[in-house]
Structure 1
């Protein structure tokens, strides 16, 4: 790694060493987010906001992933820092993958708009790509000072993200203060997208909570930093490092004192009974995408009456995607993950139904049993 960033270290020797490894932790976390939620080998275009003289995040990203490109933008930074950043790009021979631009619009953080003219601000190589921006200030005083502090800066990012939504896969930022996390999470959960539906005389507002978000912690020596990421996409992050205390769980597990093969058989019987098509990806993994809530009481009553609703399910978008994994420890552990979907409540109702029936099959009864 040292040889890859030799020229960067020459320019910024005073603080680059400690910054390098902290920044690498952040880049590796971004890689984990993208690996879980995007197709393998897809070209990634990122925006680094407040790129700084070192250009450290684009350099690290491109050095560790050959399919990444970056546009680094600077708003409240001096021309000298911009020039240093461009020199560092050239010395690492990455001019074809990293572009540095000065953002002279104080009203915008992201150099994107819905119109075609604004797209021309971005290098041709970044047009119409999935964007995965990182936003963190890493340099001189005028780079690191922003109105409202880091909370104010990330709040502006969140507000701007309501305009772009799924045009950008992940919006991310690093935080230097743990106390910033909760207000930002509360903000994400209470965002008002203000989509106005017009009728002859009625105006109604549609509200949206941003529920797909992740918070993580980076430790480098005695220094701690935190990362936050949010997305308008329905694909959920399960494996990437996160602090689950700041978000509802996407993964649940339960233990049974029965052999794995017996619990697997029970699960498949339950899924078949619910008319849920599933795939056995390997010997210990079962995946599926329900297209209808067949586990509700109403659905079970309908099935008893033998009412056929299959014709209504053709070409229906799945409610969510799930994955069951069987872990053979001292007993049998079954773990379920919410892989994709927008409605957490329906996934949790599905899991509660499955769990109760598995418990019954293993002789564990809580309250009334399901009617056979």
Structure 2
């Protein structure tokens, strides 16, 4: 198997998919394996919703001990290797701040807030299993919160490490979720990217055609490109969402060490940085990640000076 050196060094999936191991832990995957027409290696049809969900279920069971993981068909199905990369880079961010945490009087238990956790609750599951972190997982969608809670409670080794909370006001991000007296070392977020449902549908269509699928077979609710409206789009898109996040973070500047958020469009970075400067943060960083040929990144900002 070819080494994917672009993935984080601690990422368990940087060497590709070990289908022998995955099928052993999740036999249902076996009937969904196919040969890549170019190199004849084992793979799955990534446009097949059943295959994508089975692959993720196998990865979670084999590598993270997650025996139950389910969600409604119309909700987003996240790629595990990319999601866990974000977790590993966050761990590095914390490690690099550790030498000065004593001066800031940080709690020893790492607590993380996941904004928009989704029905799969994927980031808390990965962070709790990989690093033993404790999470608050928030979402504006009641079905997502209920399903995420079921996924957590069904896996005893993470049950006490993840708490799911409903954000009752869709206009707020941190308000109503971060409670008085709470402190978080990290917040993380995969924000809604698109500006409208039409924009989101167009993006899904492009992905479908990139897999060389016939337009007549296109289904906008295909699982691996699916998602509820709150998962895919918001007024103003990704940039507006992150700007609101920065604005709200000011009010919680003493309760969070590092605020972070994925940024899909690199052209948004200059405007995001300007908003951070206006918010008078003590520091911010852009941390790049890569999965194969795709480059992704997240922005991190803090009102604490951990560089002293």
TM-score calculated relative to the size of structure 2: 0.60
* Paired residues for 1:287-306 under 5 Å: none
Which structure 1 residue ranges, 4+ long, deviate > 6 Å from structure 2?
12-15
| 1:188–1:211 Cα contact (<8 Å) kept | no
* 1:2 aligned partner: 60
2:148 corresponds to which of 82, 85, 89:
85
CA deviation after TM superposition for structure 1 residue 226, in Å? 1.4
* 1:190 aligned partner: 278
| 2:167–2:176 Cα contact (<8 Å) kept | no
User: C-alpha separation between the residues in 2 aligned to 1:103 and 1:10?
Assistant: 22
Q: For residue 159 of structure 2, give the secondary structure of its aligned residue in structure 1.
A: coil
Change in CA separation of 1:131 and 1:211 when aligned onto 2, cut-off 3 Å = closer
User: C-alpha separation between the residues in 1 aligned to 2:300 and 2:151?
Assistant: 27
2:128 corresponds to which of 62, 76, 89:
62
| 1:82–1:102 Cα contact (<8 Å) kept | yes
| 1:132–1:168 Cα contact (<8 Å) kept | yes
CA deviation after TM superposition for structure 1 residue 25, in Å? 0.8
* 1:142 aligned partner: 230
* 1:255 aligned partner: none
Change in CA separation of 1:221 and 1:100 when aligned onto 2, cut-off 3 Å = same
| 1:132–1:169 Cα contact (<8 Å) kept | yes
| 1:169–1:233 Cα contact (<8 Å) kept | yes
Q: Which has the higher contact order (CA 8 A, sep 6+)?
A: 2
TM-score calculated relative to the size of structure 1: 0.50
Deviations 1:5-32 (A, max 9, x none): 644655489974x621111110111101
* 1:361 aligned partner: none
User: C-alpha separation between the residues in 2 aligned to 1:137 and 1:90?
Assistant: 25
> Which is helix-richer, 1 or 2?
2
* 1:225 aligned partner: 296
Q: Which runs of 5+ in 1 are unaligned?
A: 120-126, 192-208, 237-339, 341-372
Change in CA separation of 1:151 and 1:2 when aligned onto 2, cut-off 3 Å = same
Larger Rg: 1
Q: For residue 35 of structure 1, give the secondary structure of its aligned residue in structure 2.
A: helix
| 1:131–1:168 Cα contact (<8 Å) kept | yes
Q: For residue 216 of structure 1, give the secondary structure of its aligned residue in structure 2.
A: strand
User: C-alpha separation between the residues in 2 aligned to 1:43 and 1:12?
Assistant: 33
- Paired residues in the alignment total 206
* Paired residues for 1:67-146 under 5 Å: 68-75=133-140, 77=141, 79-93=142-156, 94-111=158-175, 118-119=179-180, 127-137=181-191, 139-146=227-234
User: C-alpha separation between the residues in 1 aligned to 2:230 and 2:184?
Assistant: 30
> Which is strand-richer, 1 or 2?
1
Q: For residue 281 of structure 2, give the secondary structure of its aligned residue in structure 1.
A: coil
CA deviation after TM superposition for structure 1 residue 165, in Å? 1.2
Deviations 1:196-244 (A, max 9, x none): xxxxxxxxxxxxx3241010222112333210000011113xxxxxxxx
Q: For residue 30 of structure 1, give the secondary structure of its aligned residue in structure 2.
A: helix
